[in-house]
Each structure stands twice: as C-alpha cells, then as structure tokens.
Structure 1
C-alpha cells in the first residue's frame, strides 16, 4: 500500500544548523527543525525556546484601550455595576473569568452573563443587554462577541449602558457604536498582534486597568487561564500567543485555583501540562457544558473558592462531557453517510441534530474528507450551522459569496457559524458546491502534500529525543508538532483499539517503540507482523497510568519499498 500523499522534506542551511548547535547546545534534529521553520539565528532560537514575559506588548497599544480603562476606573470609583457578557466556549468562558477575577480584586461591583447555546444563541443580543440592565449594569463588557452585534449595541445606547467590546472576530462592513472596541482585527486597532484569542484581549484590558489602578500590577497570575483559552481556541501559537501559552502551561500544574485544579484531576492531567492535555482533555470538558448544558457551571467552577464546590462542578463538567461524546458519535455516523462528490467543493451536511456538537462534527468531516464542511442542525425553531475549513481556504469568504441565503454568519477564516432558514439548506448546498473555485482547488491540492521537518535517526534514545522535541512546544496552529520521516520500521505486534485505532509495537534500529494510527484500523491488513514500512510520524510522550513513554503517532505509511521524497 503506497501513500497517495506527496512526502516532502524541508531544506535547511547546514551553516545555520551548526551555529544553533554550537551557540545553544542543541542536538542536530532540534536545530534542523528550528532552521527549517525559519528560526535560523541564535538570538531568534533563544527567544523561541525561552520566551520572556517582557515580550508582551503594552495593553495601551490598542488605540481604544485608554477610553475602556478610563470608563472602568470611573465605574469602580463610583461603585457602578459592571456586567460581563461572555460566550459559551472555552475562550469566552475564560475571558469572562479573567475580567471577573481581576476587577473584583480591586473592588469592582461586577456580575456576569453567559448565553445558553440553544435558548440564547451566539453573540450579544438585545435580550442579553436587557438582562444586563435588569442586573443594574452601567457598563457592559462583551467578551468574545459584539463586533457585529449592531442591534445589541443600539439597545445598550437606548438604555444608557456604556458598552465595551472585547473580541477577536472578523468585523463587518459597519462598526457598532460603543465606548471602546478592543479587537485586533478591527482596522486601525493599533495592536501589533492580529490573531489573538478573546481571552488574551480580555487579559489586556485587565492588565490595563490593573496597571492604572494598582501601581503597575500586571496580572500575570491570570496567565494560566489566558493560556487555557488561547490554546483551546486554536489561534496560532506564535509571537505573543506563544509567550502566553508557554508561561501559562509551564505553571498551570501548580495552580491554586480550586476549579482548575479539580478539573485537571477529573481530566486525568498531572505534572507539566501540554497543549495536547488542553485540547483533548481539559477543554472538551469545559466546552461540553457550553454545548449541551449551561456554561455558567464552568464560570462558577473557576470562581469557586471552596474546593468542595469546585469539585462538585468539575464532576458535573466531566459527566456532561461523557454525555456529549455519545451524542456526538451518533451525529458523526449520520453525517458521514452524506458523502460528497469527488469535486472540489464545500460540503454541507444537515439533519435533525443537537446544535451543541455540530462544530465537532464539522471538524471531523474536514478530517475525513479533506475539504471544508458546514454542518447544519435543523429543528422546529430553525436551522443553525457550524463551518470548519482546511488550511489555505477562507470559509468566511465563501459564506460571504452566498450570504443572500443566510440569515446571519460570521467567524474566522478556519471556523464560522451560520443561521439559515431550513428551506435554504438545499440551495446553500448547491451554492457552496460552486463557491470554492480555484482557491479551494489549490488548498485541497496542498492538503494532499505532507512536509516533514526532519528525518528521525534511531541512534539516540527515543525517550530522550521525545523530551528534547518537547522544548519546541507548546504545539498548535502556527507551531505544529514536528513531522518526522521514519524509514525502515518493522511491525513486531499489532492490535485494534475500540474498533477504530491501530496500535503497533515497531522496531526501529536497535530500539522498539509503541506506535498508534488514530482512526486508521484499516491499516491492520497491511501492517501485519514482520512488515517493513516507512512513515511520517510525530514523536510524542504518551502519559498513561502514571507512565510516560515515547510513542510514534503515524500520519502516513508506505509499505511498498523505500519511499521517494519530493
């Protein structure tokens, strides 16, 4: 079985590689990966491997930070009620908590609202403003929403509420009227970083207020929550995002927040936390209550001071996540039956499904079919959809082309949400089949290539190599786990896990190591005992049952002789 994917190996400058080895004491593979990713000087590599908090930009780089901070300081001084309106995902929840903790610490009269996904929908709505008004709000902070919520902004003006928008979503053609809008994507925002999570923008606002109110206090104790939201929202882990993720994850295991501590316990996470721990263990439990429960349970967990109450809420998140998995698996099975044609098109799958899981299902369809997907849940109240894309294709741009069929839409180039009339679902399917054009064809062609960062030599201990490669983390978009070319592996044993994953023990040189092919159980027919094969893999550390062992996560395999590298 030959892989249909083109394998490529990045080029590197041997002089730059040697300079990094000599200057920083790096082993060859680490230096090669850094150089091949454009980090080719000693100073750049030093900054990458050990990012400093001094690299965080001033909050006041935001042009509109000054009026936002000033209004909040006045509210605190006068004892005016501040209400934070968050969102139901990890980014919106952690952004809400960051502001609540920071402003409460300096005496603010502050409360919060988080919307229910089904009952309230996404974003700041006029009824949300009305609820804030009933709570006595004089200032309303919209977190992870608000940039395109024009009617809600108008409602706030009617009620005499000063609105501060803390967001990171793409702006529309108009800008809502507000006391301040802190959004790095806003034209003229002034902030040097463009791709930030909303929780990071909330952190900037918190820092701005703390610096002015409390003699330069920077609020770095909040970085654990900021890192959690940043990693979970899958923003590029480069620049300032890397600094936040690096320092937040480095100390997260030592958290004194009872809620975060309890959640990590239920997630089975111990020791130094990685971005994988966030993405696959911690974040899904938080998102679960936003999908099929109520996100206020997650907010209250993070705010809880009593360890017993924090543990009760963490257990609720854990149980809700188990329920979410069952619902999600059923929807995925049904959606996969709506298999698309072979043409380069945006896939639309629709059914009477739970709205809370359609984002996960869309991501799974992208993974299965290698093309953008929109998954739509239809019920008696209407239809809402969640879209996910492939690298290089702007899904929001595609939705903009068919906006006449949509009631609402918005998001990022890689992820978006839509509201649509049920009768327009089929016309949308037909329209999106044509909306991709050359851009989608190019993106799909590129997705059929896999670029390796280095060739894995098996002379050193794989445990040592895995720990060494972890220095390049946190991994995520913009800084992916290194992809390694592995030659001449030999299967020693195999078994299928949960009817979908293939677990192997493979010999590589004089060593043996576990290998896993996620959702590739069909490979069992080719990778029988004694089979030799080449692979593209990620070398990770599998933490399980108190052990930490190296593991190859197989991305592509080739059993038809030595592979040719393009």
Structure 2
C-alpha cells in the first residue's frame, strides 16, 4: 500500500512567488540565492582533485598533436559526454580526435581489455574515458601496456582500488573536495574542458595558434540533456547547468541534433523544460544504445547539418518505438512471474529484493523494466538478461534506504565467485554473474535486502505539496510552476493532492483516461489526464476521488490550457492507480 505524506504547508491560498517559496522550502531550499541559475554560482573547477594533472596531460596532447580517442558509455550520459569532449577538443585545436563506444552486446560496459584491443587499431596516444573508467582496472593496464596513456573522467562510485591511469577526475573519489557529488559524466567532462581552456588561455595558446577562444557555454545543451537523462540529483550545481542548457534550447541555440530530437518528439522548442529532456529527448537518444549502437546517437549530437540531424533523430525515434514494444512485453512477463508473490501480498521468501529473469529478455531494456517494477512494487529490483557464454547481465534499481552498489559489493565480498563484476550508484547499478548462480544470487540478494532495509522503507510514500485552492487551479499557476524549475531527481516537480468531483471520463486510444474534474469548493471544471492507465486497474465509476496530480499547461494547436496530470488515485484507504513514487 502507498500512503500520502504532505510536506510543509504555508499560505495555501497564496499565488506566484509565495507558492514557489513554499515549494522550494519543501525541497530544502529556503535561501533564494540557491535559486540563482547564473553561471557564476557554479562550483569552481579547481575543487576537483586530479584536474591539474588532467589538463596538463591534455595540454601536452594538443601541443604534440597527439591522437586522442574518447571512449564513452552507451547511454545518453555517455553519448552527450562523448559529443561534448569532441566538440570542445576540436574547438581548442585538437587535430586528431575521434571516439569509440563499446557495443553493449559485444563488449559490455567500460574500458575493457577487449575494447582496448579495438582501440589499438586507431593508434591513439591518449585515451579519455567519459562516463566510465573508474572500475576499468584491467583495461587501463592493457592500454598502458600498449604505450597508450589514459585519462579517466567518471562519476560512478569507485571501488577499493583505483585504475592506474595518468590522471583521474571524479567528484566521488575519496577525499575529493568538490561540493557537488551528483555531477553526471557529462558534467565531469564539461568541467575538465573548462579547466583546460583556462590553462590554455594562461599559456597564450589561443593567441599563439590564432585560434578563437571557444565559448564552452554553447555546449551546455549537451550537459543539460545528459544530466537529466542520467537521473542524477539536481543539486544547486546541476540545476544551474540544466537551467543554462534549457535556456539555449528555448532560444533555438542548441545543437541541431538536440533540436531535432525535440522536434521528432513533438515538443515546442520555445517551451522546453527538463521533463522534455527526461521523457522525450533522453529516451530517444538512449534507444540507440539499448536497441542498436550508440554511434547513431553520437553522430546526431555531433553533426552541424540540421537536415542530417533530423534524419538521425527520426531513426532514433523509430528505435525508441521498437524499444517501447519490447519493454511492454517484458514488463508483462515480469509481472506474470511475480504473480505468486503478489497473490500473497509480497510476503515470504523472495519478497524483499526481487530478481527477475527470462531467457528471451533484451539486454538493452532490462534497466527500464527493473525501474518500472521497482516503481510499481516499491522493492529493489534486478532484471537479468542472457549475455551469452553462460553469463547473465543484470540491471538493478533501488529504493531509498538501500545503497544497491554497496549491497552488491557486500555480496561479492561475502560470497566470492557469486558475482563476476559490478558497479554503479546508490540507486542504480549493473552486474554480471554466471547463469548457474542465478538462484543462489536471488536468495542472497533477498536476504541482504531483508537485513539492510527498514520495513518502513518498503512502504511506498507519495510526497505531496498539499492541496491547491480553486483559485490556484489556473493556467497562470501552471505556467509559474513550469518556469519555477528545472525540476527533476532530488528536486521533484510539484505534486499536489485533494478531493475532486468527477464530472466526465473518456478513454483515449484505450490507454489514456481524460477526465473533467471540479474542486468541491470551486465552480469551474478542469481537464485531467491519466496517462497509460489500464482500464482494469482504474476504480469503478465514482462521483468523487482523492487524486495526486501535477498541474501543467497543455499546448494544442498553438493554444495553452491548464490540465491536471493525474499520477495517483486513492479510493478510501486503497491505492488504485499510480505512476511510481
């Protein structure tokens, strides 16, 4: 069962600045200065340990016209990181810089010895990892044995041993003083490029070479997309980066690839918000790495030709449609496999930490399936797919109260050989294990979750900003909320709740429920929409419902109107419909 917890409430009849003040206070941001999105508010690059070694390495590579190879990850963070590194290095005078992204289905994640062997064919002098590398102990050794120097830029949590690279930049290194530990991989490489530009400026590089000093602010659209798509926490530093990138998109000054991704998703560029990156541009970019090869996505971000960018964006849109179909089938299979647990109310063995596996599952989609089931059941979930050669690859998604990477490390330590490799963050991680160990791992993971997680954390809680008055259910309020972001992970978009009269309901395409609602104390009706609502799960006809909702503006044929996006429905004490917590 999920319950509603209303956050701090003040002046519930307020509008405008007072409403935003209450919402920011609910999110632990009482100081108005923290809402200043000017670039001057960014944490300084000097606070990153390893930044001076990294820029010295890069400066030498530029001076000596070395061949530089960027090796990224196959998700949106990795793609934006790769594109940003190439665009910045080329703008600063690199004469030979290229990229290589491991295919998920052939080489797996990170700088492995196998991908180093492929990289050697391009004869690089320097490898730069972006959004990976902190766990690539063997890969770094393999590169150095071939005479290739390595610069690791990453944001994932390090293990007990660091790779023997020439330089490492990662805000999550032990004792690193950088204040924002939530930087995405694209944020880390952006900081490295800003620091490199400062070093080159000090050395007179641009003047001596006759190169115009690049405005790296033009790359903030890439930073915004990668940051939101990787679902890292939007602390103040990340909010600044995202807000600045969104500002460029709304002005039509983003890269042609990002503009094309938003266009094929049907988004109005002038009204782009963080949610458009998280639910429209990001999934389409991610679809390349999930279903095919991320090279399509990176080329979309690198091209300066709008026509070519649109063609690539349309190809990514097609891949995303395919991904949605595969995901829907896998999610149904996952729920079918959980039917015995659901029938007994998620109690007993195997009910705390959920491990799911079907031999036919697609490696590129298991992370999404794990996230969907986690949202629905509020349990840590690991979904596995067959990786061949007797191995399974798993993608884990966690809940507050369980640091899933630490849990995997504990399992690997106490049960040697059970897990082949692992890595990730507190809320998301990846791992590999022999297929013959699946049932043993399933039990060990469930036992670990039982020991580590307070039972209260297994009860979903919907955090609401409280009710809105009838006078606040307006287009003006919706526009204020849109402009009050960027909202996202760790700084959630406002969610309100209250009782409403149901005047009318109508199913659209059998998937979305359109409602006409009225506040009990109001006179005007308001449109509501519940996306992807299963008619079988929706409560029977009722004249009154307790709804948790977001207030948004809906644009149709150039006209904007207010609408309530219904996220959860309660009837009495029973939770009927919800899109996760």
Q: Shared fold (TM-score greater than 0.5)?
A: yes
Q: Separation in 1 of the partners of 2:166 and 2:50? A: 9
Return the offset for 1:524: 7.5
Asked if 1:491 is matched to 2:507, the reply is no
Please state whether the residue corresponding to 1:337 is helix, strand or coil: helix
The correspondence for 1:264, drawn from 245, 262, 265, is: 262
Distance in 1 between residues matched to 2:310 and 2:2, nearest whole Å: 46
**What SS does the aligned partner of 1:83 have?**
strand
Give yes or no for the alignment of 1:555 onto 2:567. yes
Q: Please say which of residues 547-556 and 399-408 is displaced more in the overlay.
A: 547-556
Within 5 Å, which residues of 2 pair with 1:13-162?
26-40=16-30, 44-48=31-35, 50-108=36-94, 109-162=96-149
CA-to-aligned-CA distance 1:465-495 (integer Å, 9 cap, x gap) = 11112233111111101121223x1111112
Q: Distance in 1 between matches of 2:456 and 2:509?
A: 33
For 1:328 and 1:451, locate their aligned partners in 2 and report how far apart those are by CA, in whole Å.
28
Contact residue 69 and residue 124 of structure 2 kept, 8 A: yes
Cα pair 2:182 2:234 within 8 Å, conserved: no
Corresponding residue to 1:183 among 150, 153, 170? 170
Paired with 1:181 and 1:443, the residues of 2 have a C-alpha distance of 39
SS in 2 for 1:402: helix
Following superposition, the deviation at residue 9 of structure 1 comes to: 2.2
Of the candidates 406, 411, 430, which is equivalent to residue 402 of structure 1?
A: 411
Secondary structure, aligned partner of 1:141: strand
* Alpha-carbon spacing, 1:144–1:514, altered in 2? closer, same or farther (3 Å): same
* Partner of residue 336, structure 1: 335
The answer to whether structure 1 residue 208 and structure 2 residue 215 are counterparts is no
Does residue 329 of structure 2 align to residue 318 of structure 1? no
**Which residue is 1:420 aligned to?**
433
Contact 1:129 1:155 in 2 (8 A): yes
Structure 2: state its 5+ residue gaps. Answer: 203-212, 576-581
Structure 1 CA distance, aligned partners of 2:511 and 2:121?
A: 51
CA distance 1:309–1:35, change in 2 (3 Å): closer
Contact 2:353 2:450 survives alignment (8 Å): no
For 1:153-552, list aligned pairs within 5 A.
153-214=140-201, 219-253=216-250, 254-270=252-268, 271-339=270-338, 341=341, 342-343=346-347, 344-352=351-359, 353-378=361-386, 380-381=388-389, 382-403=391-412, 404=416, 405-442=418-455, 444-445=457-458, 447-487=459-499, 489-508=500-519, 509-522=522-535, 526=539, 528=541, 531-552=543-564
Shift of the alpha carbon at 1:532?
1.6
TM-score in terms of structure 1 length: 0.91
SS of the residue corresponding to residue 561 of structure 2 reads: strand
In structure 1, how many angstroms separate the alpha carbons of the residues matched to 2:173 and 2:299? 31
List runs of 5+ in structure 1 lacking aligned partners.
none
TM-aligned CA distance change 1:256 to 1:197, over 3 Å: closer
DSSP 3-state at the match of 1:521: coil
Q: How big is the shift at 1:370?
A: 1.4
Q: Secondary structure at the match of 2:438?
A: helix
Decide whether the 8 Å contact of 1:8 with 1:450 is kept in 2. Answer: yes
- Distance in 2 between residues matched to 1:337 and 1:416, nearest whole Å: 24
| Cα RMSD (Å) | 2.3
In the TM superposition, residue 12 of structure 1 has moved relative to its aligned partner by 4.6
Take 2:336 and 2:358, find their aligned partners in 1: how far apart are those partners?
11
| Residues 380 and 26 of structure 1: CA distance in aligned 2, closer, same or farther (over 3 Å) | closer
Find the residue that maps to 2:423 and give its secondary structure: strand
Kept in 2: contact 1:183–1:201 (CA 8 A): yes
Q: TM-score, normalised by structure 2?
A: 0.89
Q: Is the 8 A contact 1:199 1:229 kept in 2?
A: yes
